[in-house]
Structure 1
Amino acid sequence: MNRLLFSVLLAAGLLFSASHALRFDLQSGHTKCIAEDIKSNSMTVGKYSIVNPSEGHPLPESHKLTVRVTSSYGNSYHSAEKVESGQFAFTTGEAGDYMACFWAPDHKPEATLTVEFEWKSGVAARDWSKVAKKNQVEAMEFELKQLQETISSIHEEMFYLREREEEMHKLNQATNANMARLSFLSLVVCLSVAGLQLWHLKTFFEKKKII
């Protein structure tokens, strides 16, 4: 019983540590960063939004965010500029601290933004499978477009080579036909010259006998 209770508490602790939901204030012209220690090859998802200070009215122009999510190695996994809300989902490439930094542009007079941010990773991220699937589908669509362009380029190259091969084949046939005609003509000329020489020799010897 104690072992079972310990396992449940351990699992609950892991889920809690892998999920962060918080609300914080951010002054215009300032930056706030939140770090998350994530294992390699783990799914992580997050969403953020600015809380509207006046419900039923659009957000003020001063309420914009610039967001960056990077790894401890400096690799960028998410980037958004001057947005009111956003979300991200990716699979970590390396283990370590991942940093989500929020920056509010300068504004006069100074404005205070209230930001809601939720970040989940590992098992806790499974609840956001739709977000992950959307990002994965977009990535697959991009890869498929690249593959389609590559295939089209290969097809065009194949058609070009085939046309060149046909042109070369026709050229070779024409060249072979010309060579055959030239060879026949050369043979006729050689035989004519040889016959002419024989006729001259015959005439020469006949003249010698007469003398």
Structure 2
Amino acid sequence: MKLMEVLKVVVVVAMVTMMAAEAIWLELPNSETKCVYEDIRNNVVVLGEYIVIHADEEHAQANFIPTISVRVTSPFGNSLHHEENATYGRFAFTTSEHGNYLACFRMISHVPGNKNAAISLQWKIGIDASDWDSIARKEKIEGVELELMKLKGLGQAVHENLLYLKKREEEMRGLSERTNGAVAWFSMMSLSICIMAAAVQIWRMKVLKLLVVATMAMTAAEAIWLEMPSSGDKCVYEEIRNNVVVLVNYVVIVDNEPDQPNFIPDISLKVISPFANKLHHEENVTHGQFGFTTTEPGNYMACFFMNSQAPDGKGVHIGLDWKIGIASKDWDSIARKEKIKDIELVLMKFEAWVQAINEKLIYLEKREEEMSEVSERTNAAVALFSGMSLSICILAATAQIWY
């Protein structure tokens, strides 16, 4: 009984993260077109089903159902499905490029009294398009095995979506950096040309002496093995979202066997948050661990300082083991406390894994939106600055010529 209860909890949590196959209701006026779209990555199976329902009870009872024209297109404008004079239909395809897939509906027959018609559209995307009944009959499985197969498919789908979002974020970041660089370069060029024109005019009219000096610089769960310098510090950072548990173990290791067998140099350690709040501080240690729960998203930094020197010729390294989120959980203690084992423990781990991926997915979507907004604001600000600098230089040059 307890196994089935755990399984039900996992299924409920998993289905929340799944791209649900939900019905969309459209109210379509006479001789008008309405479209809906869905952002889908490539190599995903899509099934769609639509049906026309008359919104007027009088004509519905008379068995009058208006006909529509249906067209489904890919992000590049390729026609995937086209139907004329339809009242019901289905379409299916496998995506070949990522982007917005568009389904447009247009009323063909005129309804008396200019009444509207309702269209029910149901999208089934990815794992939702799988026919689990047929799979169960073909594979001769049922019960827990079938639910585990569904969860496996769900995990793969969520993982692929996570990789897709990370790739989209990288592409957005690269595009933003290239755009910012191009606009900044154009701004610098326009400003430089205006300064050169003004300098030539000043030199020719002998009004002022040219003195221009311009110099601009563009400043420009995992084990980490750090090689410590003989002096100074060494820092590492990890980008973590907020409300995540972090556990870290560290140990100082000396290469080879030094002349003093029991000698290990000690270090100092400081851990700070993205807003420079001190989370952990230790002096004169050779090993240890620390843990905290993040309160803001960003780069969490751990810095190590050498307090004593190692014997000559001996390298000093620090082994650092980050355990973040689900990796920081003590599953043995949880199993003993909950008195579970084997398949129940595996299902509990899977539930936590699905929740962690879902939270990471939401975090990446939020980061993508923030990156897009920052890119738009930066581009607008740089473009405004470029236009203002060009206008000021033109006005200055005009005033000098007139003077």
Alignment TM-score, normalising by the size of structure 2: 0.28
- 2:108 aligned counterpart, secondary structure: coil
Flag the 1:103–1:129 CA change in 2: closer, same or farther, 3 A. Answer: farther
2:37, 2:133 → 1: CA distance? 22
Supply the RMSD in Å over aligned alpha carbons.
3.0
Shift of 1:18: 4.6
Shift of 1:9: 7.3
Flag the 1:97–1:47 CA change in 2: closer, same or farther, 3 A. Answer: same
Q: Which of 66, 71, 76 is the aligned partner of 1:68?
A: 71
1:128, 1:66 → 2: CA distance? 32
Find the counterpart in structure 2 of residue 116 from structure 1: 120
Q: Which amino acid aligns with 2:35?
A: C
Identity of aligned residues (%): 36
Flag the 1:128–1:25 CA change in 2: closer, same or farther, 3 A. Answer: farther
1:58 aligns with 2:46: no
Flag the 1:114–1:39 CA change in 2: closer, same or farther, 3 A. Answer: same
2:29, 2:123 → 1: CA distance? 21
1:14, 1:45 → 2: CA distance? 19
Shift of 1:97: 0.9
1:95, 1:43 → 2: CA distance? 12
Find the counterpart in structure 2 of residue 100 from structure 1: 103
Q: Which of 124, 129, 133 is the aligned partner of 1:125?
A: 129
Shift of 1:77: 0.7
Flag the 1:9–1:84 CA change in 2: closer, same or farther, 3 A. Answer: same
1:78 aligns with 2:68: no
More helix, by proportion: 1
2:133, 2:72 → 1: CA distance? 19
Find the counterpart in structure 1 of residue 27 from structure 2: 25
Residue correspondences, number: 124
Q: Which amino acid aligns with 1:92?
A: T
Counterpart contact for 2:68–2:109, Cα < 8 Å:
no
Shift of 1:72: 1.0
Counterpart contact for 2:43–2:94, Cα < 8 Å:
yes
- 2:22 aligned counterpart, secondary structure: strand
Find the counterpart in structure 2 of residue 206 from structure 1: none
Structure 2, unmatched stretches of 5+, are: 1-6, 135-403
1:35, 1:124 → 2: CA distance? 17
Instruction: Please say which structure displays the higher CA radius of gyration.
Output: 1
TM superposition outliers: structure 1 runs of 4+ over 6 Å: 7-10
2:74, 2:106 → 1: CA distance? 17
Find the counterpart in structure 1 of residue 331 from structure 2: none
1:38, 1:114 → 2: CA distance? 25
Question: Of the two structures, which has the highest relative contact order with CA contacts closer than 8 Å and spacing of 6 or more?
Answer: 1
2:132, 2:115 → 1: CA distance? 32
Flag the 1:57–1:127 CA change in 2: closer, same or farther, 3 A. Answer: farther
Counterpart contact for 2:69–2:105, Cα < 8 Å:
yes
Q: Which amino acid aligns with 1:78?
A: H
Q: Which amino acid aligns with 2:122?
A: E
Q: Which amino acid aligns with 1:79?
A: H
- 1:37 aligned counterpart, secondary structure: strand
Structure 1, unmatched stretches of 5+, are: 131-211
